[in-house]
Structure 1
Amino acid sequence: MTRAELYDLVWSKPMTEIARQYGIRDQHVAQACDAYEIARPRAGHWQRMEHGKPVETPALDNKNHSPETIIVIEPALGKPGRFHPGDYHDAAKRRAA
């Protein structure tokens, strides 16, 4: 999706819903937003909207990235915090050096 599409998506529904929709983790969505300077809703944003309270939605800042920039969010391989077979060999090489 484009940077502008991700911005619209992030401000239209909670990241947990976005993550579920695309089969990724909400942290991956947050990391993509941070990497491409897309402002994210602050904590409590969706609750305030639900109760009809005013919320501020900042404009997409296009100083460093174009709105047409393509963003690909891919899930990390394996599970976070889990041992991966290649990790042992890499760690062993670092210790030997």
Structure 2
Amino acid sequence: MAIKSLNISADGKREMTINEFKRWLKKLDADKDGKISRKELAEAVHISRGWFAKLKANREIRKVDSNGNGYVDESEFENLVEFAEKHLSVRILHLYDISLH
């Protein structure tokens, strides 16, 4: 599942708003259960040419899963911003970033 965005920053990261990021995360939900599993997150890391996809996904799920159910659900999607910026070559644009462009 490729990350589609028209805006690419100078460092090669795809730029998207938090709402675009949430829509993209929903596309990762292969079984359409409304949650991102370790396997689905690992697939995103792998597709983004990341190393150690399973390890990173397992660690991140444990870190951002605030309700402890083993998945990242829609209410926890914003918790994945830092992970996406580090491991998925994404830059999340915040309102102050957009006003500068």
Give the TM-score band, short-chain normalised.
0.3 to 0.5
Q: TM-score, normalised by structure 2?
A: 0.32
Q: TM-score, normalised by structure 1?
A: 0.32
Structure number having the greater helix percentage: 2
| Larger RCO (CA under 8 A, 6+ residues apart) | 1
The structure that has the greater radius of gyration is 1
